[in-house]
A and B are shown apart, each in its own frame.
Chain A
Amino acid sequence: MSGAFRPANQDSPLLRGLLLAAAVLVALVMLVLPLAAVLAEALRRGLGVALAAIAEPDTLAAIRLTMLVAALTVPLNLVGGVAAAWCIAKHQFPGRRLLVTLIELPFAVSPVIAGMVFVLMFGAQGWFGPWLQARDIQVVFALPGLVLATMFVTFPFVARTVLPLMQEQGKDEEEAAATLGASGLQTFLRVTLPNVKWALLAGVLLCNARAMGEFGAVSVVSGHIRGETNTMPLHVEILYNEYQFAGAFAVAALLALLGLVTLAAKTLLERLAGREMGGRA
């Protein structure tokens, strides 16, 4: 005992200092160093080399494809996710909990399996493979496969961010709107949406970040055709395996930046969404 008064549920200053030092050490080794390693490797031969690596035609094609995949995936999952959240939060029907479980299922599935299921269906020896081949339609090793695999892994993000908030807010306001004769769309646009807009935006950002950064699932369905079916994370792998470390880490740094911006935006939006809960969060 140091003798100085302190509440019974508080540890001694020495112990607190030790805990803090240990926590900082863990965070440094496990969180800060990996991020610093990416940036250091990317800039090892100077910013010019890193930027030149990003300006390579194959890299630019990968960036374009990544943005295209995200631009197709996110709106589809936005519509599905919002419909699911609204349906589950604002209506009473049997099987709601089962539905929530099923929507969260993709989080429990390995990304590689998420990619594989589409190869099993649409690949050369897939269920619909011969049918598609006869009609000269490419799903696997082409854009549709990339979008499907990305949709699978980013499936729960929007619903999961919005659903708890919608449930918390109850359905009094929507019922009032319906009583006053509002249609479903009007109710959603004028009553529900304004109440959840920040949480919805956070969900969209998380969905987008994962869509752009997804590796395992698209790796299986991509076919790795340079300049055609290679997304940014896949391009990182190709460059890395070819010992083009400057390029690999430059593209990786770009992806890391996307992650950091998303993280910052998410933190901000969570604060705003907290206000949507009426200051409860």
Chain B
Amino acid sequence: MSATTLGFGRPAPIAAIPGFRLTLGITLAWLGAVVLVPLAALALRPWELGLDGVLAVLADPRVLAALRLSFAAAALAALLDLPLGLLLAWVIVRLRFPGRGALDAALDLPFALPTAVAGIALTALCAPNGWLGAPMEALFGWKIAFTQAGIVFALMFTGLPFIVRTVEPVLRDMARDAEEAAATLGASRAQTLARVVLPALLPALLTGFSLAFARSVGEYGSVIFIAGNLPMATEIAPLLIVVKLEQFDYAGAAVVGMAMLLLSFMLLLLINQAQRLLRRGRA
């Protein structure tokens, strides 16, 4: 099915409800003007440099370092968020305790806080004199702010609700009788969790991981304050795009942007495929 067959000029198969052409027209105009045409600019502008030029930008050590940092930090943050998100979802769904509603609502905070606010908040928290930064440095000698660790921490903050909110509904709908059956058949609690509960949650965990990862790769506002922004060390790919645009290197910026999008789509596709295999394995 291609976008050009979306129904212009031919009647809808079921025309019982009027207003189809008008709303489809509005939808396509809206989508085209705001999203598709602008993204086409991103896909086309890099080639002004020619293939050699595009490859030269991609081979630039500074570009490679920025891309590597953005993808590695995003993957690590999403990975570290998995146990935390699972823990929070489990507690919200399985335990009854006073303040559960408040905890539940607080889990959406990273969605609700504007990224620039999150950025300066996390920086204040992790700075050498901050509430977290000071004890971390005194106790372990760890520096968080203005290092790669700070980037991962900021991405963990923005990514956490994605894991919680994808695992939570699956956990809620999960039939408790499977656990009961396992227990009745003599499985220990640990065996039940490892063989019954965790496999059932695995697809949701993977989805949560990919959502958090996709968000984190492109994250800008919550990261740049805490990152330090040193080229080759703590400069994330979105920041490099901003730097290139400020130098009027539009095509170079577009190359970095295109590489980011293509890489993350490829990775998401891979995860999607893994999930399909997983589901088939269980069926």
Q: Which residues of A contact B (CB under 8 A)?
A: 7-9, 11, 16, 19-20, 22-24, 26-27, 29-35, 37-38, 41, 76, 79-80, 83-84, 86-88, 90-95, 98-99, 102-103, 105-113, 116-121, 123-127, 148, 151-152, 155, 171, 174-175, 177-179, 183-185, 187-188, 209, 212-216, 219-220, 233-234, 236-237, 240, 248-249, 252, 255-256, 258-260, 262-264, 266-267
Contact = CB atoms under 8 A, between A and B. Distances in A.
5 contacts: A34-B122, A84-B27, A109-B261, A255-B114, A259-B113
B18 interface: yes
A20 B19 contact: no
Interface stretch (B57-65, B125-133, B198-206, B271-279): B125-133
Contact of B183 (A8, A24, A183): A8
B180 A259 contact: no
The winner among B20, B107, B180 for most chain A CB atoms within 10 A is B20
Given A94-B7, A110-B217, A23 B103 contact: yes
A121 B112 contact: no
Interface string B172-184: 0000100110011
Contacts of A116: 42, 241, 245, 253-254, 257
Given A110-B217, A110-B260, A123 B250 contact: yes
B12 A93 contact: yes
Given A110-B260, A118-B38, A179-B16, A26 B220 contact: no
Given A94-B1, A259-B112, A178 B157 contact: no
Contacts, number: 303
A9 B245 contact: no
The winner among B12, B119, B264 for most chain A CB atoms within 10 A is B119
B114 A102 contact: no
A93 to B, nearest CB: 5
Nearest to A154: B34
B194 interface: no
The winner among A30, A118, A267 for most chain B CB atoms within 10 A is A30
Contacts of A256: 113-114, 117, 121
Nearest to A90: B17
A151 B35 CA distance: 9
B12 A99 contact: no
B119 to A, nearest CB: 8
B108 interface: yes
B6 to A, nearest CB: 5
B113 A34 contact: yes
Given A34-B121, A264-B105, 9 more contacts: A19-B91, A87-B26, A110-B241, A112-B239, A117-B39, A234-B116, A236-B117, A240-B120, A259-B109
B218 A109 contact: yes
B19 A112 contact: no
B27 A80 contact: yes
A164 to B, nearest CB: 13
Contact of A215 (B42, B87, B108, B114): B114
A121 B17 CA distance: 38
B6 A124 contact: no
Interface in B18-58: 18-20, 22-24, 26-27, 30-31, 34-39, 41-42, 45
B95 interface: yes
B112 A260 contact: yes
- Closest 5 CB pairs between A and B? A110-B218, A184-B19, A213-B114, A8-B183, A80-B30
B17 A8 contact: no
A19 B103 CA distance: 14
Contacts of A11: 189
Contacts of A187: 17-19
Contacts of B30: 76, 79-80, 83-84
Nearest to B253: A116
Contact of A113 (B18, B113, B176, B218): B218
Contacts of A177: 17
Contacts of A121: 37-38, 41
A237 to B, nearest CB: 6
A26 B119 CA distance: 19
A237 B217 CA distance: 21
B38 A117 contact: yes
Contacts of A237: 116, 225
Contacts of B37: 121
A102 B189 contact: no
Contacts of B7: 93-95
Given A113-B260, A213-B115, A37 B124 contact: yes
